[in-house]
Amino acid sequence: MAQTEAELLDNPVEGNPTLILRSPDFHSITEVVAEAVERPTPIGWWFFFIPAVALLGLLGVAVSWLFWEGIGIWGLNIPVGWAWDITNFVFWVGIGHAGTLISAILFLFRQKWRTSINRSAEAMTIFAVMCALLFPSIHVGRVWVMYWVFPIPNQMGVWPNFRSPLLWDVFAVSVYGTVSVLFWYVGLIPDLATMRDRAKTRVRKLVYGFFALGWRGSVRNWNHYESAYLVLAALATPLVLSVHSVVSMDFAVSLLPGWHTTIFPPYFVAGAIFSGFAMVVTLMVICRTAFRLEHIITLRHFDYMAKIMLVTGSMVGYAYSTEFFTSWYSGNPYEFFTFMNRALGPYAWAYWIMISCNVISPQIFWFKKARTSIPILFASSIVINIGMWFERFVIIVTSLHRDFLPSAWGYFRPTIWDVSCLLGSFGLFFTMFCLFVRFLPMVATSEVKTVLPQADPHGHAGAERESRHHHGRRLSPEPAPGSAS
């Protein structure tokens, strides 16, 4: 099997590359994806689900205690008023970006390889945005007045400040979450109909049937459906770029050395895609093995994702050096101090973890052997996500901890509750992901079928009839004007 895959990757194919191995028919695609949901819960699933739920419980405890006691239970102080809470927020919202990149941007660029992984990558996006939204919400301290961020008419006659990047963030992230759910659901409708039509039990028939909305694969429906999908992709593309740009403006619009730079929006977007692809790789390595989807999620897919990680990792590395150069070239002593302090000060350990994980480690993907080796990919994806978490930590904490006056210098140390909230957010993420792979088709079968050669009515399967076409003996004359319905 591995041999075949390697051979396939080595052959530069003219025309369409083979995206799905073992040349399956349409039914076997349905079978392998739907069967993963329909069979009794495998034991292995519990090995992921139980620890995930345990961590989710930890999150519940940590958040309850936080609500009771206040954000003083975290290691926050003055000058470090933002620390792990906002680090986690930026980390999670960044993870989500790869899902949208795969589902929307690669769709617009007609990158057909996305079909094997887009469903689970979009699910990842939604769960990551859930984790992301958690942190700014709980970090406000008085969560019961959270609704003040929304423009709701109220008895106080008070409105939010729409000129603040923090409010832009509220809108950007919540719109992003909503649009991601819509996009994901629209993509799911045909597959939910598949689950409905295969259902053996009444509960399944009713639940999948309800959400499938009575989909019957009508071409007149597909016509509007494909239009909607294209429009959603076209909307999600600028949206995803705007989201992390707005997140970066939380920092860039402030006047703090280390934050106040115009490079932030593109730099944050590149970092977001970088970490998001790493998370997709982590999840896909587990899923393809656990659910025997090696022929649908192939080494070719990993090869492409590794290339994207190499590119975005290098872009992030370039941004790190540009930041440093600018801080020196600006001639601003505060700016230069902040960067020297980042690399050589008390948080130098975090800075160098960031550099090694994000800039040095992805360079291994220059080699095809690394891009097609599952163990290397898996290890790198985790290393990259550690690095990207540290990137946000470095940006936030090192810029804050040495204020303009040395008398206001401090050092941030996480408490057990900081750690619990971070681990707990992973619990939330993996609980949701486990439920997703258990109850929903994790591969977009209606999209994967379109990349099979026999799906093309003018392809090899239709070669015989087509040749008749080309010899002028058409089956039918041109449509008469007005015959269109």
Which of the residues 17 through 76 are near other proteins (CB under 8 A)? 25-27, 30
In b/e form, how buried is each residue of 451-484, taking b as 16+ CB within 10 angstroms? bbeeeeeeeeeeeeeeeeeeeeeeeeeeeeeeee
**210 lies in the site for other proteins, by CB under 8 A:** yes
Min CB(247)–other proteins separation in Å: 11
Burial class of residue 190, CB neighbours in 10 A (0-12, 13-18, 19+): buried
* CB neighbourhood size of 174 (10 A): 14
CA distance to 53, 280, 295, 484, per residue, from 121 (Å): 21, 6, 18, 39
Q: Which stretch binds other proteins (CB under 8 A): 72-80, 217-225, 324-332, 344-352?
A: 217-225
Nearer to other proteins, 220 or 470 (CB): 220
Residue that has been written with the tokens 């804050």 in this structure: 400
- Separation between Cα atoms, residue 107 and residue 230, nearest integer Å: 8
**196 lies in the site for other proteins, by CB under 8 A:** yes
**215 lies in the site for other proteins, by CB under 8 A:** yes
Min CB(8)–other proteins separation in Å: 23
Min CB(30)–other proteins separation in Å: 5
Min CB(239)–other proteins separation in Å: 5
The answer to whether 50 and 451 have CB atoms below 8 angstroms apart is no
Task: Find, among 246, 388, 389, the residue nearest to 317 by Cα.
Answer: 388
> Cβ neighbours of residue 323 under 8 Å, at least 6 residues apart?
261, 263, 267, 339
| Identified binder of other proteins from the candidate list 74, 135, 225, 274, rule CB under 8 A | 225
**266 lies in the site for other proteins, by CB under 8 A:** no
Nearer to other proteins, 86 or 239 (CB): 239
| Identified binder of other proteins from the candidate list 197, 204, 315, 332, rule CB under 8 A | 197
Min CB(20)–other proteins separation in Å: 13
Min CB(323)–other proteins separation in Å: 23
| Identified binder of other proteins from the candidate list 39, 219, 375, 406, rule CB under 8 A | 219
**477 lies in the site for other proteins, by CB under 8 A:** yes
The answer to whether 85 and 421 have CB atoms below 8 angstroms apart is yes
**194 lies in the site for other proteins, by CB under 8 A:** yes
Site for other proteins (CB under 8 A): how many residues?
80
Q: Which stretch binds other proteins (CB under 8 A): 297-305, 358-366, 383-391, 476-484?
A: 476-484
| Identified binder of other proteins from the candidate list 119, 244, 392, 449, rule CB under 8 A | 449
- Separation between Cα atoms, residue 303 and residue 301, nearest integer Å: 5
- Separation between Cα atoms, residue 97 and residue 476, nearest integer Å: 48
Residues numbered 234 to 263 that lie near other proteins (CB under 8 A) are 235-236, 238-239, 242, 246, 249
CA distance to 130, 239, 309, 416, per residue, from 279 (Å): 15, 20, 11, 25
Min CB(469)–other proteins separation in Å: 9
Which amino acid appears at position 236 of this protein? A
**182 lies in the site for other proteins, by CB under 8 A:** yes
Residues numbered 122 to 151 that lie near other proteins (CB under 8 A) are 151
